[in-house]
Amino acid sequence: MALDEEALMWVEKYRPRNLNEVVDLRDIVESLKAFLRTPRTMPHLLLAGIPGTGKTTVALCIARELFGQNWKTFTLELNASDERGIDTVRDRIKDFSRYSRAGFGNVPFALIILDESDQMTGPAQTALRRIMETSSRTCRFILICNQSGKIIEPIQSRCAIFRFSKLDKKAMVDQLECIAKKEKITLSPEAAERIVEYSEGDLRHAINALQTASVFRDGVVDEKTVLQVVGEASPKQVQVMLNKALNGDFIEARKVMYELIGAYGFSGSEIVRQMQRELLKVSYLSAEQKAELTNIIGEYDFRLTQGANSDIQLSALLAQFAKVGKSKGESN
Amino acid sequence: MKDDFLWVEKYRPKKIAEVVGNEEAKATFVEWLKNKRHTKKAVLLYGPPGVGKTALVNAASNEFGFRIIEMNASDTRTEKAINKVAGPATSFVALDKFSTESKGNLLFLDEVDGIAGNEDRGGVSAIVKIVEESRVPVIMAANDPDLEKLRPLKKVCALIRFQQVRIPLIIAMLRRICIMQHVEAEFEALERIAQNSRGDVRSAINDLQSLAEEKRVLTLQDTMMLSSRNRDISMYETLKGFFSAKSLAEASTLLSRSSVDYDDLLLSVSDNLPLRYTDSRELAEAYDLVSKADVFRGRIGTENWHLLKYFFNCLAQAAAVAPQSCKSFELISPPIRIITLFWTKGKRTALATICAKIGARCHVSRETAKHDFVPFVKIMLEKQKSNPINSWLKLELEEVDYLVKMGKF
């Protein structure tokens, strides 16, 4: 790793550099290795799965295995959610496939990694499909997404699809302990369990939590520190907003919503997604009430995609919550 | 009683006395035309539409034997165009003076406030020039004399103000027309037409014709379909009316008359809704409808304007969720969102830059950086401000500072 200056975020520092180091993805790794033995025949790849399960890591490993130390020269990393519009994507891919002079050793193509490709709209994906066709002689694509269902079928049919499922708890604990050892910190087994539990199969979250916890008490991480970190790092404002709405205080809830949109630049769908997650943690609602509220969230999540102003949809959603909250208060 | 004529034309006043209302303005105008037109060459008649400005000018010139040369807003009013028409009319006065049956020309510029800045470049100054050079009287008419661009005109002419015509006068006039048209009208029906016209005689006559034309009898019932004329209503008026609407019909009428920007309207309605509906059940129901209106707004986009009626329908329903709970309140404006976004722009960009830097370092999108990294990085920096990760992430000192001080999501 002479070329990389040493990474200080542990998720980067301990990101596997080759496929053998990848945790808990034996089947996927084996099939990929088969492709890499004869790169000429490697198809486009579609890596799908929940966050923090190693999709980007695997893609970067493939790049390294194909091109060795010079991988950056032959790899274009794009993030669909950062690039505005398919035109930018198209231009960057075009430029890249023109200048990369496709080919390194026995690899007759350059690699394009398109992360979060399910964030692209249908028309953008159609354009992407065309780009994939026209540049197929010189480029291979690795598309990464959370939900393969959001990728249009013509693209899916052009790719070999790999599904990444939630990481195994044991493997995650092992990984955390391995990092703790290298970083010379003391990680109690309960603490490791806790981190893994809260991370819900997302290794990136687990490692970030571990690193954060390690600064609390000079490298001693116990259960208490973990709870503290998890508590502080979880989305507070959404929780606050949710509770205010559920207590029937619509106006205060809306204030928090405007702060989330205004000061932090959260989009409507992000807030809705977090609301849904936070709702499940609310202790004073019954399972039936949560189910009912989840239905309402679903409806407004859909309206968000149809409507023109996300803050109106969110306000309306909060008003529905306030109603349920009020009636709950009255029935008690 | 089908007529070939518009009644407003048929019953247009031939004499000054037949012009309804505005007695004071009429007297001032006649006095000017008779005696003062040589000392003060121009007058500007101003007031709301349909109160008899044009009618008075026509009636007066008819009575005194002036020939009217007219231009109005439909003509282009560049300097060139004005000079082309008005130039000859104002300078050939000398020849006309010898003619016995005519007192000469009158230049009448109607709707001078319709002069648009760009299209009629030089329009106003050309009029001023004409007034200054003209040897015939110049009469101008306008609805709104306060417009900045007409200021030069005010200096060179006398102002005569017209007001809305009083309701009883309009009723009396409608009655006369009914008699001549052989329509038997209930007093209440005429009263409603007159009230609805808001002092606009022309629109009152038009309404009467549309309601009574093919009838012998006009009842109050017949006038129920009457709605107020399209006048531009401001956002404030729209909201005021929206939040005090007593019924779905009232809200729909109001919305269809309003010409405010739909997105502004939607946001303002959303902002004020919790003040209108303090009961959480009503609020939830109303918000659900506003949300549906927003969905239609989204579907309309920039081209599907035929969906506008559904947008209005949802919005009107939202106004009429609980008419019984209606009470007045102080409106919030301008929209909260606009204020919030304005004050927080700096914060947002600061955070976005930080996320971009994290994203570049850790192979994630800015969004993911915000969710999965910022909360942790913030805590680490809080605990150890000099933590080396900030230099690795290439964060500037101010950015570290920002993260530490930033409120939690």
Tokens representing A90 are 């198209």
Q: What is the mean pLDDT of chain B?
A: 80
Q: Do B280 and A325 touch (CB under 8 A)?
A: yes
Let me know whether B33 and B146 are in one domain: yes
Let me know whether B82 and B124 are in one domain: yes
Q: Do B348 and A262 touch (CB under 8 A)?
A: yes
**CATH code for position B171:** 1.10.8
User: Token match 């019954």: residue?
Assistant: A286
Q: Do B336 and A258 touch (CB under 8 A)?
A: yes
Mutate: best of B264, B310, B380, B393, partner A, most A CBs <10 A: B380
Number of H helices, E strands in chain B: 20, 7
Let me know whether A95 and A119 are in one domain: yes
**CATH code for position A95:** 3.40.50.300
Residues linked to residue B68 through DSSP beta bridges, in sequence order: B106
CB B176 within 8 A of CB B10: no
CB A147 within 8 A of CB A174: no
Cβ neighbours, 10 Å, residue A136: 15
Residue A207 carries which side chain, given as an amino acid letter? I
* A212 in a structural domain: yes
Let me know whether A179 and A307 are in one domain: no
B298 in contact with A, Cβ within 8 Å: yes
The CA distance from B377 to the nearest CA of chain A, in Å, is 7
Let me know whether A93 and A27 are in one domain: yes
d(CA A147, CA A122): 14
What pLDDT score does B309 carry? 86
What pLDDT score does B230 carry? 47
What pLDDT score does B208 carry? 87
Q: Which of B301, B325, B349 is the last residue of a domain?
A: B325
Q: Which of B105, B134, B161 is the last residue of a domain?
A: B161
Q: Which residue of B has its CA nearest to A199?
A: B372
Let me know whether B266 and B387 are in one domain: no
Mutate: best of B295, B321, B384, partner A, most A CBs <10 A: B295
Mean pLDDT lowest for which of A57-61, B90-94, B138-142, B201-205? B90-94
pLDDT at A1 over 60: no
Let me know whether A246 and A306 are in one domain: yes
The CA distance from B288 to the nearest CA of chain A, in Å, is 6
Three-class SS state of B217 = strand
Angle A34-A38-A44 from CA coordinates, rounded to 5°: 75
Contacts of B290 in chain A (CB under 8 A): 312, 315-316
User: What does DSSP assign to residue B113?
Assistant: G
Let me know whether B38 and B118 are in one domain: yes
Q: What is the pLDDT of residues B74-113, one digit of tens each?
A: 555 555 555 666 555 555 544 444 444 556 788 888 777 6
Q: Do A265 and B348 touch (CB under 8 A)?
A: yes
Let me know whether A252 and A189 are in one domain: no
Kindly state the percentage of chain A with pLDDT values over 90: 36
Spell out the residues 6+ positions from residue B269 whose beta carbon is closer than 8 angstroms to its own.
B239, B242, B290, B315, B318
Q: Which residue of A has its CA nearest to B282?
A: A323
Residue B19 carries which side chain, given as an amino acid letter? V
Q: Give the domain range for residue A26.
A: 10-164
Let me know whether B128 and B190 are in one domain: no
Q: What is the pLDDT of residues A231-245, one digit of tens each?
A: 777 777 888 999 999
pLDDT at B126 over 90: no
Q: What is the pLDDT of residues A91-127, one digit of tens each?
A: 888 788 776 665 667 788 889 999 999 888 888 888 8
Q: What is the pLDDT of residues A247-265, one digit of tens each?
A: 989 999 998 998 888 877 7
List all residues of chain B from 21 to 80 with a beta carbon under 8 Å from chain A: none
CB A46 within 8 A of CB A195: no
* A123 in a structural domain: yes
Let me know whether B87 and B146 are in one domain: yes
B176 in contact with A, Cβ within 8 Å: no
The CA distance from A174 to the nearest CA of chain B, in Å, is 21
Spell out the residues 6+ positions from residue B102 whose beta carbon is closer than 8 angstroms to its own.
B65, B66, B67, B96
Mutate: best of A6, A299, A315, partner B, most B CBs <10 A: A315
Q: Do B383 and A259 touch (CB under 8 A)?
A: no
Outline where chain A has alpha helix (H): 10-13, 26-37, 55-67, 71-74, 85-99, 122-134, 153-157, 169-182, 189-199, 203-214, 223-233, 236-246, 250-262, 268-281, 287-306, 310-331
B221 in contact with A, Cβ within 8 Å: no
pLDDT at B407 over 60: yes
Average confidence (pLDDT) over A268-274: 87
Task: Characterise A265 by phi-psi region: left (phi > 0), alpha (psi -120 to 50), beta (else).
Answer: left
Let me know whether B104 and B35 are in one domain: yes
A331 in contact with B, Cβ within 8 Å: no
Q: How confident is the model at residue A297 (pLDDT cuts 50, 70, 90)?
A: very high
Q: What is the pLDDT of residues B140-185, one digit of tens each?
A: 888 765 556 667 777 788 888 888 888 889 999 999 999 988 888 8
Three-class SS state of B328 = coil
How remote is the C-alpha of B271 from its chain's centroid? 23
d(CA B193, CA B163): 18
Q: List the one residue out of A108, A173, A161 whose CA is nearest residue A138.
A: A108
d(CA B27, CA B206): 27
Q: Give the domain range for residue B321.
A: 235-325
The CA distance from A315 to the nearest CA of chain B, in Å, is 7
Q: What is the mean pLDDT of chain A?
A: 86
CB A315 within 8 A of CB A258: no
Domain total of chain A? 3
Q: How confident is the model at residue B118 (pLDDT cuts 50, 70, 90)?
A: very low
* A132 in a structural domain: yes
d(CA A29, CA A281): 36
The larger pLDDT score, comparing residue B34 to residue A241, is at A241
List all residues of chain A from 2 to 61 with a beta carbon under 8 Å from chain B: 5, 7-9, 11-12, 51-52, 56, 60
Residue from the list A233, A265, A313 with its beta carbon closest to the beta carbon of B376: A233
Q: Do A259 and B340 touch (CB under 8 A)?
A: yes
Residue from the list A8, A316, A325 with its beta carbon closest to the beta carbon of B392: A8
Angle B144-B111-B107 from CA coordinates, rounded to 5°: 125
